[in-house]
Structures are given as C-alpha cells and as structure tokens.
Amino acid sequence: MEPLACSAQEQQFEKIPTLIFPTPGDACAALAAEIRQLIESKAAKGETTVLGLATGSTPVPFYRELIRLHREEGLSFETVITFNLDEYHGLSRDHPESYYRFMHEQLFDHINLKPENIHVPDGTIHRDEVFEYCAGYEQAIEDAGGLDMQILGIGRTGHIGFNEPGSARDSRTRLITLDRLTRIDAAADFQGEQNVPRFAITMGVGTILAARRVALLAWGENKADIVAQAVEGEQTDAVSASFLQGHSASRFIINKAAASALKRVRLPWLTGSVTWTPDLTRRAVTWLAFKTGKPFLKLVDEEYSEHGMADLLTEHGSAYDLNIKIFNDIQHTITGWPGGKPDADDSNRPERSEPSPKRAVIFSPEPQDDVLAMGGTMERLVKQGHRVLVAYQTSGDLRVSDAETQKFSTALFEISDQSPHDWKDQLGYAQNILSQLEEKGPFGEPSPELRQLKGLIRRGDARNACEACSIRADQIEFLDLPFYKKGRYRQFTLSDEDVDSVVAVLDKMKPHQIFATGHLADPSSVQGVAFEAVRRALIKLQDTDWMKDCYVWLYRGQQRELAPHEIDMAVPMSPGQLATKLNAIQKFQSHSNSELVDGSRNRDIAVLYDKLGLAEYEAIEAFERYLPESM
C-alpha cells in the first residue's frame, strides 16, 4: 500500500518527509515490508540488523504485522538485535506495565528473536548506578554496530523515547523526570495518575539521531497538533521530535487523522491550487476570519487576495456575497432542537422536523464520554419528547479505582456483619473482594470478579449522571461489549460478537438518529475500537429501510473539539443548562478528572461562534454529520 500521493509543493512546509496512509494497517504493512527487506538483505550478507524499538499503543499494529510476517511468510529474526527506547524507573520486569513485559507480550514471545539479543533498559537499577548503567547501554548499542533503524512513537509533549521538553539534541541515555501530561496519558494504564512512575530511563535524542534510519509512527487526532509542530515548526528542545528535522533519513509515517493539522491538509490553498468544494470554502473563510480577527461580515476583498484566496472571489462574485453565504451556512448549524423542530420549516436546519418524536440511540464507548460531550443535548432530546436510548458500549470498569471498590465492599461487609438476618453469602462476597484487592496490590491484574464489581459501580455512576440529564434508568442499556470485557488497554481486539451486539441494539430501536464517537481516535483505544464496532454495524444495516432514513451524528471525544468549520449541528446552552450538565459529569465519582468538568470546552466553542459574528451563547455542544459514503 502506497502513501497518499502528494506534490513537493504541497509538502513545502514540511521539514521531515511525511507519509500519510489511509489507515494504520496500511502504514504498518509498508514499514514492516521495508524492515523485512532490511533484515533479509543484511542476513544474506551474513550481517545482523539492529533495531531500536518503542512501546505504547502506536507500534502495536506494526508488531502484529511483524508477527504475521514471521508466522505466515517465514521472516526470521535470528539475525536481529533489538534495543528498546525506554523503561519506567522503579518497575520490576514482571510488573504488568513494565516495557520489558509489554515487549515480550506484544512481540518477542511470538517471533524467533534470540533472548540474548533483546535489550530493554532495566528500571530496577539503583539511582546511584543509573549513570554507569546508561553509559553501558550506549556502549552496547555501539558494540552491536549502531542502530540500523529506530522506530518511534510520539507523546503529546512531543517526546520521542521519554525525551521530555527540555531534552537537548545531543542528550544520551539517562534517567529523566516524566512530564505531567505524559503521566496523565499513562494514568489509565496505572489506574490513576498517582500510580504512574515519576521517572524513566530513556535513550537520548542524540542516541536516536545516531540511528541510520528513523521512522516515527502516529495515529489518531490526538497526535495531530504535535505532529504538525514537529514537522512544520522550528527545531526546538520544547518538542524533541522536531530534532528529527536534522536527520537525513528520518520519516513520519502517519494516518489521516494524525495528519489533520498539517498545512497541506488544514490549509491546502496555501500549498497549491485547490478545487473549492463547499467544505473547503467554509474552512478557508472561517480560517480567514480568525486570521484577521474579524467576524465574517466584515471581511473585505483585499484580505481574500492577500491570503491566497483570490480565486474564491472570482467564483463567488465578491467578499460581500461570500461572507453572507458562509455566515448563513454557519448560522444554520445552530439549533436548540437537536431532534428537529416539529412543524417548522426545516430546509435550513441540521435535523429534519419529521418524524416527530424521533427515536435516538446515543452510543458511548465508556460511561462518561456521552455526558461530557453531549449532556446538554441528551437532556434536550428527552425534554423535547424524543425516545432516547443511551447505549454504553463498555462498562468502563478499567477506570474505576481500587479505593472506590474497597469503599463499596467495606460497606457491604459491615452491613452484612451487622445484619440480624443470615447474610453469610454477602459477607463472604465482601470478604473475598477485599482480600482480592489486597492480594492484587495497586498494579496487579484484576480478576473477572473484581472487574465485574467495578463495572457495576460504574453503572451506578452512569445512571446517576443520566438521571441528572433527565434520562431514566430504563432508557439506558449496558452492552458490555466482549472486546473490552475480555481485554485490557492496548490489547483490545474487535470481534463479530461486538458488532452483532451493536447491530442488535440498533435493529431493536430502528432509530432516526444515532450519536457516536471515536472515529478519529487512536484505532487501538477503547473509543477507536468502539467506533469501529458502530461503523461495521452501520455497514451491515445500510440496506434496511429505517437506516436509509437515519441521521448519524458524531461527537468528539475527550481531547480535540470540533472547529467551527467542521460543525454541522451546534446546540447552544444557557448558563442553567451548562450547570445541569456539569452537575451530571460530577456524578462520575468513581473516576473524576477535574480537568474535564469545568465546561470550558463548551464555552470555547461559543466564544468562537461569537468571534465569527454569530449570536453570543454561554456554551455550545457540537456535532458533525457522518455520511454513509464515508462509512
């Protein structure tokens, strides 16, 4: 599979060759084929191949492809020597989150790599010996002949390896303090930020730059901004990946979602001639308004010409005509009737007025995704008389803290103990859970029983949050999709059973509206896998009569909100409605993330609409329409 075609002119702002593939699978297949060629050509000459490897979600599909090449196409790793980039400091090798264990589970145990050729920094080295140990790691790389190829992911701080902001270009393998953002991103793996190690041993930027070839992989919209900074920005120690600009054989290998902030994707009229589709026109005019700091209706011809958009005016007559067109376009995205306004002219509304009331299914990958993004809209749909079903795709149990589980079990233990009735079973259950928690410790693998209880606790939160949005318990369904129930972070695999369960709920409801999210998430994340289940279900159902008449609305997950030009439906909220939503979010007591509950995201969209010259609202929830042809 080839990367998307692109001219040199379109890449003019990119300081590192950047290959954009339709999917991570396509990208990984291309990279694995290159590595295979490297290994086999060196082996034919009697030489070893030295690979630098990364951990994290990103390389997982790449490792799966290497395993496939080994199993199905006979690729041998006998001549390969590997060096991993990094390891958490303070974790033993058998810790479930150690990178040593990760590499064995994800790759080493499935290929014929010689154990003596595997090198992962040892996180248990005493601080006093770290310096010497790291020098030894560097020496071992050199003794092996240097890295032929280094595989990298990128963190949202721009780190490669764990070279956090401030890491020098010539830094070498060393102990480093992890950035707060990196620790937040790892919090789910460790059941809470407080459990994430504070330090790590990492190869330095200089170590990475000494590799003969470098390939950095990135998937998903969450990586889009940092990828653009690394590829198009200045070389700076604030974004250590930007130092790859100085390496003559480095490449970024990314999917479309991770490429979405690059200039050639975001502002294509600045990188070459374009065909002005309605979407692109809306994007360009909105960009111009923000760039000049003016509302739509004040943009003038000269501003269009000065910003490479003169041909747009030729097409539309004048700035005056175009401004009004786009102003109306965006104005028409605003509706207080997310299920359609009955008996109203709907020719300029995002949703149809008929039928009324509608049936709506709201998919939420984990409990909380729904309320965070669209709690206000959920409340409106119910209050406006629509039949709403909230379908929680997974229980979200992996996010429930041990402390919360302990609180519940202790209460059950005490009430059973004090009960005048015979509550032996309950007492035994509570005792069992409490001892399991103790045996497991903060990092142990939770048993299915523990996961079940955590899932039930999370259900309670979800019901409370829904109730705060006026959604009754009988309007909620917990799908408990098997991919999540049987999996753990980074190890989820979608099966037909998952898709069938989504099909069943849709077929039962035959909705007029579906709300879903995860389309631009990292495909291996819970949200990414959950969306894939919805996408496949929609394909299966596309020929049903009800599906032909169904609108699918997408909301954005926790990290990146829709930009105004991407919004197809904007549901405004009053201060009171926002307060109701924030109250609903607070109900998720078993997992509270204070950063998410201040409503700033919804306020920010409202500010942007205001700046564009539209009405000034307190807050807005935003959706884009998912069209069948993009399925």
Q: Which of 164, 221, 561, 566 is an active site residue?
A: 164
Scan for tokens 């291996």, then name that residue: 524
Q: Does the protein bind ligand F6R through residue 97 (CB under 6 A)?
A: no
Q: Which ranges of 486-525 would DSSP assign to H, the alpha helix?
A: 496-509
Residue 603 contacts residue 618 (beta carbons within 8 Å): yes
Nearer to ligand F6R (CB atom), residue 186 or residue 466 = 186
Task: Closer to ligand F6R by CB, 169 or 332: give it.
Answer: 169
Q: How far is the CB of 524 from ligand F6R (least distance, A)?
A: 9
Q: How far is the CB of 54 from ligand F6R (least distance, A)?
A: 4
Residue 178: partners with Cβ closer than 8 Å, 6 or more residues away: 162, 164, 196, 197, 198, 199, 200
63 vs 555, beta carbon nearer ligand F6R: 63
Q: Reply yes or no on whether 164 is catalytic.
A: yes
Parallel, antiparallel, or unpaired for β 250-255 and 569-573? unpaired
Residue 270 has a CB neighbour count (10 Å cut-off) of 17
51 to 90: interface string for ligand F6R, x by CB under 6 A: ---xxxxx--------------------------xx----
Which alpha helices (DSSP H) does 356-470 contain, by range? 369-383, 402-418, 424-440, 448-468
> Residue 202, SS3?
strand
* Per-residue binding letters, 248-277, with ligand F6R (x by CB under 6 A): ------------------------------
Q: Residue 105 has which token pair?
A: 């589970």
Query: CB nearest ligand F6R: which residue?
Result: 153
Q: Which of 159, 380, 451, 535 touches ligand F6R (CB under 6 A)?
A: 159
Q: CA 245 to CA 237: how far, in whole Å?
A: 12
Q: Judged by CB under 6 A, which stretch of 121-129, 156-164, 207-215, 608-616 contacts ligand F6R?
A: 156-164
Q: How far is the CB of 15 from ligand F6R (least distance, A)?
A: 20
Residue whose CB is less far from ligand F6R, 25 or 342 = 25
Nearer to ligand F6R, 185 or 621 (CB): 185
**Distance between CA 506 and CA 215 in Å, rounded?**
41
Give me the amino acid identity at 609. Answer: Y
How far apart are alpha carbons 466 and 475 in whole angstroms?
9
The pair of structure tokens assigned to 588 is 């998720």
Q: Which residue has the tokens 């067109």?
A: 325
* Cβ neighbours around 198 below 10 Å, total: 11
Question: Which CB, 61 or 340, lies closer to ligand F6R?
Answer: 61
| Residues with Cβ within 8 Å of residue 26, at least 6 apart in sequence | 1
- Asked if 557 interacts with ligand F6R (CB under 6 A), we say no
Closest approach of Cβ 559 to ligand F6R, in Å?
A: 12
Size of the residue set binding ligand F6R (CB under 6 A): 14
Q: Which of 61, 121, 161, 523 binds ligand F6R (CB under 6 A)?
A: 161
Q: Check binding of 160 to ligand F6R (CB under 6 A).
A: yes
Helix H or strand E encompassing 73: helix 60-73
Which one, 23 or 406, has the nearer CB to ligand F6R? Answer: 23
Cis peptide bond upstream of 17, omega within 30: no
Minimum gap (Å) between residue 200 Cβ and ligand F6R: 9
The residues annotated with a catalytic role in the active site are: 164
> Which residues are near ligand F6R by CB under 6 A?
54-58, 85-86, 153-155, 159-162
